[in-house]
Amino acid sequence: MTTRFFVVDDDRHYARLLSYRIDKAKDHEVHVFHSGEDALDALDRVRPDLVLLDIMMPGLGGMETLRRLQLFEPDLPVVMISAQGTADVAVEAMKGGATDYITKGQDDLVKLDTVVKRLKDRVRLAREVEQLRAEVAKKYGMEEIVGDSPAMERVYQLVQKTLRGNLTVAVQGESGTGKELVARAIHFNADPLPGKPERGPFVVVNSAAIPAELMESEFFGHEKGSFTGAHARHIGKFEQADGGTLFLDEVGELDLGLQAKLLRALQNREITRVGGAGTITFECRVISATNKDVLEMVRKGTFREDLYYRLFQFPIALPPLRARGNDVLLLAQGFLEDYVEAYPRFKGKRLSGAAVRAILDYGWPGNVRELKSTVERAVLIADGDEIEEEDLLINGPNAIRPWAERAGAAPVAAPPAPAAPPAVPSPAPAPAEPAAPPAPSGDGQGGPGDFPPLAGFATPPPAEVYGRGGAEQGVPQAHSSATPQDAPQAQPGGGVDGIAALAPDDLIVPLDDLKRQAVERAFAICEGNVERAAGELGIGRATLYRLLKKYDISTE
């Protein structure tokens, strides 16, 4: 790694002395200037990593040159060089932002070596951080969002338009459609906010994952001793996100009290820490995400209308995967390639023609998240280089389906034709939900089945929900191949499948009981690993957190 030095001193003899000393190291490149003006002019052509700057120079002088260098690059290390007797000025310069100083004649070259060594480490670290930042930005840039269907093109256009200003963006879409990915893309593509030299961090706050009583402190922070357990000052997410983006995930989960406080914060662009007296201003982008019909919540009085308008200044509706046409294949291929790149021992694995057809025909109730898990799992399952349809585990008796579906929650598992009786004894959709949209996992918790029609994306007809093939024939398809053999088998310990299968024929098991047990069981089997349990249940992590909270299941 080459370190580039600027030596700026009108004393040509001393400038040469310094440059010889520095130039001894092979990885150093030295540029010598005899005035501040010349050094500043050179910034257009070459960018220094470290500057040695004489204080007493005719013309601009060292102090003014320092000030202008800092305007150019605030973190640029600048070491001031002072003549004997001007050490006080050097100390002043340090107060003005210089990194260190060397006094001419007093073991100056020895000190120079020490300072250079230390600052080189700092430069190396700064470069590494910059490189990492660039990698992260690339990872979450637009190019990470796969898909060129018309539905996604519309999303990209909207995302680009959000970048023109700083309105509050609300990303709506079913679980696993990529809402967080879109939020990150907005963040990493946006320019720094006015008045901020660079982009601040992307800070996530998940309203479903944090207990209501801790939520206020999570948002706004708290002062030490403000409540039992507040042992130290805590900086809230709003403050953490200063200059960057605050991503409010699952915003439909906020309780009404907090909604009022959030509204106030967003309106006034200031917050007060819990237990704090003064207000603190913040400046950040705010992006929220939800898979709930927030407008319906407004109608029911569970979501404040004024907050709705504040958050939904710029809504972006993410289409479900089943509405993205051939994107599903692009994504599947992309996930396969990523996985093989990460685990080269799987080099050569490819999707068979039948697997491709199955991927196209399936309804993907868990959206992109489900597709990703399916492809990665299939890579492991496939014995040969060809990944076969059976390896996907999306159709047939071994299909891994969302728990609600396996447990027979209507309308997912129930095949329509009388010849193929429902996989579980539950005879019909629960009466309380007769008009529920025929979505894949209508759990009443904002999962895929609960998502309302989004502007620009018509709710697909019932058959389309589970399989495009079915849509053509007018019957639900992808799982309608279920036969009695497909019915979940009772498990000795009573499992997700067992819950439904053990119920007597004439007993309707309340959906909520099934859900509670399914969540408890998945959580226990996965030994508290939320990511894994959510994956197994076919729901998002946030949804699982919400269910754990709802059913009061201990996560200890």
Ligand X SMILES: Nc1ncnc2c1ncn2[C@@H]1O[C@H](COP(=O)(O)OP(=O)(O)OP(=O)(O)O)[C@@H](O)[C@H]1O
> Which parts of this chain interact with ligand X (CB under 6 A)?
145-147, 173, 175-181, 289, 291, 331, 368-369, 372, 540, 542
Taking the complex as a whole, how short is the minimal distance between the CB of residue 202 and ligand X, in angstroms? 12
Both tokens assigned to 496: 């997700």
Taking the complex as a whole, how short is the minimal distance between the CB of residue 369 and ligand X, in angstroms? 4
Nearest to 36 by CA among 77, 69, 82: 69
Indicate the residue among 180 and 361 with the shorter CB distance to ligand X.
180
Indicate the residue among 147 and 495 with the shorter CB distance to ligand X.
147
Query: In this structure, which amino acid lies at residue 417?
Result: A
DSSP string, 357-384: HHHHHB--TTHHHHHHHHHHHHHHH-SS
Indicate the residue among 265 and 542 with the shorter CB distance to ligand X.
542
Indicate the residue among 289 and 454 with the shorter CB distance to ligand X.
289
| Cβ proximity of 394 and 362 under 8 Å | yes
Question: Which residues, including other chains, have CB under 8 Å from residue 380's CB and lie 6 or more apart?
Answer: none
Residue nearest to ligand X (CB): 540
Taking the complex as a whole, how short is the minimal distance between the CB of residue 418 and ligand X, in angstroms? 36
Nearest to 466 by CA among 448, 454, 451, 479: 479
Phi, psi of 167 (to 5 degrees): -80, 160
Taking the complex as a whole, how short is the minimal distance between the CB of residue 134 and ligand X, in angstroms? 19
Distance from chain centroid for Cα 56: 51
Taking the complex as a whole, how short is the minimal distance between the CB of residue 289 and ligand X, in angstroms? 6
Distance CA 238, CA 250 (A): 16
According to DSSP, the residues that pair with 274 across neighbouring strands are: 222
Indicate the residue among 8 and 208 with the shorter CB distance to ligand X.
208
Taking the complex as a whole, how short is the minimal distance between the CB of residue 294 and ligand X, in angstroms? 14
Indicate the residue among 227 and 343 with the shorter CB distance to ligand X.
343
Phi, psi of 362 (to 5 degrees): -75, 155
Indicate the residue among 181 and 400 with the shorter CB distance to ligand X.
181
Indicate the residue among 282 and 545 with the shorter CB distance to ligand X.
545
Taking the complex as a whole, how short is the minimal distance between the CB of residue 420 and ligand X, in angstroms? 31
Taking the complex as a whole, how short is the minimal distance between the CB of residue 332 and ligand X, in angstroms? 11
Determine how β-strand 280-281 pairs with β-strand 386-387. Answer: unpaired
Both tokens assigned to 466: 């589970």
Angle at 208 between CA 204 and CA 209, to 5 degrees: 70
Taking the complex as a whole, how short is the minimal distance between the CB of residue 448 and ligand X, in angstroms? 9
Residue found by looking up tokens 């404040």 in the block: 304
Indicate the residue among 120 and 372 with the shorter CB distance to ligand X.
372
Give the end-to-end CA distance of the chain in Å, rounded to a whole number: 48
Question: Between the CA atoms of 277, 283, 284 and 287, what dihedral angle is there, to the nearest 10 degrees?
Answer: 70
